[in-house]
Structure 1
Amino acid sequence: MFNMKKQFLGILSIFFLFSGCISDSENSLTRFEREVERIEEYLRVNNISSVKEFSDPLLGIYMFWQDLSESGIRPIDGDSVFVDYTGKLLDNSIFDTSIEQVARENNLFNSQRNYRPLGVLLGAGRVIAGFEFGISKLEQGDKAFIIFPSLFGYGDDPRAGELRNQPLIFEMDLIEVKKNDIDDGL
C-alpha cells in the first residue's frame, strides 16, 4: 500500500523540479503559490463550520467534515468506494456532480448521464489526486469537502478547459466502502 502523503510530496517535488522548464509568463511554482493564496483567501472570506478539520498548508490542502459517521470503516488502497460528489471552483460555481438534483438546479443536467455515486478503486490513480486523497481521509458515511490547488487536480492540462490551473473544491459523501477480499499475504 502506498502512502498518499509521500506520493503528494513526490508529485510536488517533480512539479517544482520541472517548473524551471516552463516558458509561460509565470512558472509553476509561482502559479502554485498564487493558488494557495487564493485558497487561503477563500477560507478567510467563507465562514466554514465543521465538526472535524484536516489541513496541510504546505500542500494547500484543506478538508472540512460536515458529518462524522464514526462507522470505523475506512477505505484502504484496493478497496472499491462509492462516493456522491459535487465539484466547484473557488467562486462556488458547480462544474460537475454525481447528484441529479444538484445537476438540475445548476443547469448541468445531462439526460444521457446516469446520476449515481461514483465508483472508485482506491489507489488505482483513476481519478485526480486531490479527489482520491479526500476519499482516503473519510470513513463510510462521512460527509466532507476538500479544497486543493490544481497540482492535485487538472494542473496545466489544456484538455481540462475551465478547470485548467484552477483550485478545486469537492463536496464528498462516502456512501459505501467495499473491502478488497484479496489476501495480500500480510
Structure 2
Amino acid sequence: MPFRFSILATRLAFVLLLTTPSLFLTACGNSENTVAANVDYTKADEALIQKYLADNKITTAQRQPSGLYYVPTKAAPTGTSAVAGKTVSVLYTGELLDGTVFDASAKHGNEPFSFVLGEGKVISGWDQGIALMHKGEKGVLLLPSALGYGPDGAGSDIPPNAVLRFEVELLDVQ
C-alpha cells in the first residue's frame, strides 16, 4: 500500500508542477492588460481635460505630475498652506465634465466638509489638489479618473473612469 500512495503522490506533484506555471502566466497576462487599460484611460483622460480647458478658454491651469490640474480662481498667497496632517475645511461642488453635479456642500446644508489632509480619507485627487491651496483660496480641480473613483465609479452618479471637476474653497487649515 505505501508503494501505491507514493506513485499517486508523485503523479500529483508532477501535474501540479506542470499546471502551476500556466496559472502564473495567466495572471501576468491579466495584469499586463490592466496596465494597458490604465494607460489608455490616462491618455483618454488627458485628452478630455485638454479639450475642457480649450473649450472653456482656461489658460491658468497648473498640471501636476499625477495628471491633476489645478486652476486657481481666487488667490490667497498669505493664507496658511494646506499640508498633510492638517485638518482642512472646504466648501465644494463636484461635477462631471458635462456639468452634471453629483455632490456639493449645498446638498449638505452648506456645511463645510472637514478632513485630515493626506490620510487617504478622501479620493487621492482631493488629497493632492487641496495640498496646492492656501486658506482663503478658491480653485478648480480637474481630476483624471485614476485620482477619482477609477474603474468602479461611485453609485449611479459617477460612472466608471469619469474625469471629475471640483470647485473648491479652502475655508480653514488647522
Within a 5 Å distance, the mapping from 1:1-186 to structure 2 comes to: 20-22=32-34, 27-48=37-58, 53-56=61-64, 59-98=66-105, 100=106, 103=107, 113-157=108-152, 159-163=154-158, 164-178=160-174
State the TM-score, normalized to the length of structure 1: 0.70
Structure 1 partner of 2:25: none
C-alpha distance in 1 between matches for 2:34 and 2:127: 27
Greater helix proportion: 2
Structure 1 158/62 Cα, relative in aligned 2: closer, same or farther at 3 Å? closer
Q: How many residues align?
A: 144
* Structure 1 counterpart of 2:137, one-letter code: D
SS at match of 2:79: coil
| Deviation sequence 1:95-153 (CA, Å, 0-9, x none) | 1101x2xx4xxxxxxxxx44311001011100000011111000000000010211000
Identity value in percent = 31
| Deviation sequence 1:70-119 (CA, Å, 0-9, x none) | 23310211110000010011112211101x2xx4xxxxxxxxx4431100
State the TM-score, normalized to the length of structure 2: 0.74
Task: Confirm or deny: 8 A CA contact 1:49 1:66 kept in the other structure.
Answer: no
Structure 1 segments (4+ residues) deviating >4 Å: none
Task: Name structure 1 gaps, 5 residues minimum.
Answer: 1-17, 104-112, 179-186
The CA RMSD measured in Å over matched residues stands at 2.2
Tell which structure's C-alpha radius of gyration is larger. Answer: 2
Task: Name structure 2 gaps, 5 residues minimum.
Answer: 1-29
